[in-house]
Amino acid sequence: MTRWSGELSRRSFLAGVAGVAALGSPRTSRGSELVPTLSLLPFLARPTTDSILINARNGHSDAIAQLEIRPLGEDEWTPSGSELRAGPGEFINWTVEGLTGGSSYEYRVITAVPGGGPAPVSRGRFTTQRMGEEGFTAALMTDPHTGTFVDGTGPVEVLDEVTRNVRRNRPDFVIALGDNVAWSTSRNSPQPDDVGATRAYTMYRRHIAPLSMSCPHFGLIGNWEGESGKLPADSVARVAEVRRRFTPNPDDQTYSQGGSSNEDYYAFEWGPALFVILNVQSYTVPSGERHNRGVDVTVVEDWTLGSAQFGWMEQTLSSSDHPFKFVCIHHAVGGNGATENATLYGRGGPRAAGVGEQKLVHEAMREFGVQTFFYGHDHVFVDEVVDDIHYTLPGSCGAPWKFGREITGYRRYWGDSGHARLTVRPDQATVSFVNQAGQILHEFAVGPR
């Protein structure tokens, strides 16, 4: 039997109305017109062996919401606790507990306007955290820069098509490697309010909804999320609060590996693999600003995870006996591009393996058996091996700028948009580069260590 808890972002109370069974099946409340309620469809986060978080946002009217769940393939729905009444624009968070590890479930969210009939049902499915040698498929996407482009334009259409491609393979989860959102002032300007961030995250949620309703989401911090350590602390905190509401991540209590209470770095295991999620942006504070051609940058040696995150990373990797280990970050903790500006901006991926703090990260990965270093930032597909470690960049799922040899220094890369598919089995992990058209551009495999 599942257990449940729920909360609203600003207020929480039980609806003083009858159970969801009394609402009946979805029907109209104003003649033939269905009354909309949710402005953001359900979003899955923090999957564990026995729990998951389901997050949704109410629309512009008061509404009643009920979550129901059942094991995949069964007929009977189980209400997960009492109904909730949500005010305009409020977030609803259901934490469903008492689930079984490595098992698939269906859920549905039934919403209604008080005094009227139910609105359409939102439904999805998910698989709980797998343990041991059980294999799985996951997806990695990066750099949609959602919020930069107007709906209906090419980059947004690319994101929609890549999202559909990912969804077709039914991965257990997706890792979004950063620059998931962006707006005109988010990279280097303090934010006096949360308007830009709210608009960008709202757009991101709407476009990934077909995927994130049935695929738990793990997010990273990129240089366009507005959480750079170069910015004032109050600005960073303001934007981070928006991120946590719209795209909740694991915190330091979600998994045994721990992490950050700010949900900006963390680790989790899935089947035979360990994933270590790092934040290269928020703990890098410039020591001596450099203004190179009008761009405010950090000396490349100053890129850092910070002592707390770096120590946590080493401890997490060293204490793991998982046969597969993957490190995920937006860009290397340093840079070595083809130009000075590109280097200072963190470009170059594998070329930076011996530069600055990335050299220390690389040494830790080599010592503790990491097979793949997944990163984003440069908007092209890259696979280059340094000391038996694959530096792997899964293209771009939206941003149209492709940074090639003249910027990054890469000798081999693929300029297509798309995503990476990760298939893990006890004896092998395979990474496939899948372009926007669904074609496999490149594939490699690594064995257990």
Total count of domains within the chain = 2
| Model confidence pLDDT, tens digit, residues 383-417 | 999 999 999 999 999 999 999 999 999 999 999 99
Quick one: 209 and 282 in the same domain? yes
Give me 165's structure tokens. 């491609």
Quick one: 167 and 99 in the same domain? no
Residues 95-107, mean pLDDT to the nearest whole number: 97
How far from each other are the two terminal CA atoms of the chain, in whole angstroms? 38
Quick one: 106 and 147 in the same domain? no
> What CATH number does residue 57 fall under?
2.60.40.10
The pLDDT mean for the chain works out to: 90
Quick one: 342 and 388 in the same domain? yes
Quick one: 339 and 364 in the same domain? yes
Alpha carbon of 317 to those of 232, 346, 393: distances in Å? 32, 24, 21
Quick one: 353 and 390 in the same domain? yes
Quick one: 119 and 231 in the same domain? no
Quick one: 240 and 381 in the same domain? yes
The residues, any chain, with a CB within 8 Å of residue 291's CB and separated by 6 or more, are 297
> What CATH number does residue 190 fall under?
3.60.21.70
Quick one: 122 and 141 in the same domain? no
What's the rounded Cα separation, in Å, for the pair 213 and 55?
A: 9
pLDDT at 82: 77
What's the rounded Cα separation, in Å, for the pair 330 and 317?
A: 19
12 vs 149 pLDDT, higher one: 149
* Domain hosting residue 21, numbered range: 3-127
Quick one: 104 and 147 in the same domain? no
Which of the listed residues 109, 127, 145 is the one where a domain comes to its end?
127
Quick one: 193 and 309 in the same domain? yes
| Model confidence pLDDT, tens digit, residues 319-351 | 999 999 999 999 999 999 999 999 999 999 999
For residues 326 and 371, the answer to whether their CB atoms sit within 8 Å is yes
Quick one: 430 and 302 in the same domain? yes
pLDDT above 90 covers what percent of the chain? 83
Among candidates 297, 380, 308, which has minimal Cα distance to 335?
A: 297
Q: pTM for the whole thing?
A: 0.92
For residues 275 and 129, the answer to whether their CB atoms sit within 8 Å is no
